[in-house]
Amino acid sequence: MRDSCRPLFCLVVEDDPRTGLDLADALEAAGCAVAGPFRSGRDAARWLERFTPDVAVVDPALADGLCPALLATLRARGIRVVMHSGDPRTGSPVPARAGETCVGKPTPAAAIVAAVHALSRSTREDGSVGALAATQQE
């Protein structure tokens, strides 16, 4: 379980520069520490070789294609995922699994922040690996 005195550490993986920066800014404004935005799964995977976020906000359709290897790495390490992609009527190109949230585009950055906080609360309740602590907005 992570130290509740430090900010929630969020990885942002989004190939659209404006969307990625908007998400990073909104998460930082909500008190999170942010890595990224990374525009490719390859770059995010390299970053994950050295660091471990508490949660990741991922567009699974990136500049270098779909990123099943990146999602597999996050899942194997117990890192909760908010998928931010696709049309909500047709679903994400990579389906969310238990413990993950899928938010369709377009979605205001505030809704992504709310999804991150919801995962934070659910992780604290189930005590899983990569557990997240309360944020300033709770």
Instruction: Summarize pLDDT for 71-118 with one digit per residue, the tens.
Output: 899 989 999 999 887 645 445 555 566 667 788 888 899 999 999 988
- Identity of residue 21: L
Burial label, 28 (beta-carbon count in 10 A; 0-12, 13-18, 19+): middle
In this prediction, residue 93 carries a pLDDT of 55
Going by CATH, does the domain composed of 9-126 fall within 3.40.50.2300?
A: yes
Would you say residue 1 has pLDDT above 80?
no
Would you say residue 53 has pLDDT above 80?
yes
In this prediction, residue 101 carries a pLDDT of 78
> Which of the four pLDDT bands, split at 50, 70 and 90, describes residue 2?
very low
Domain parsing of the chain, residue ranges: 9-126
In this prediction, residue 128 carries a pLDDT of 42
Whether the Cβ atoms of residue 61 and residue 93 lie closer than 8 Å to each other: yes
Would you say residue 129 has pLDDT above 50?
no
The whole-angstrom separation of Cα 44 and Cα 109 is 20
Q: Half-sphere exposure of residue 13, counting CA atoms within 13 Å on the CB side? A: 32
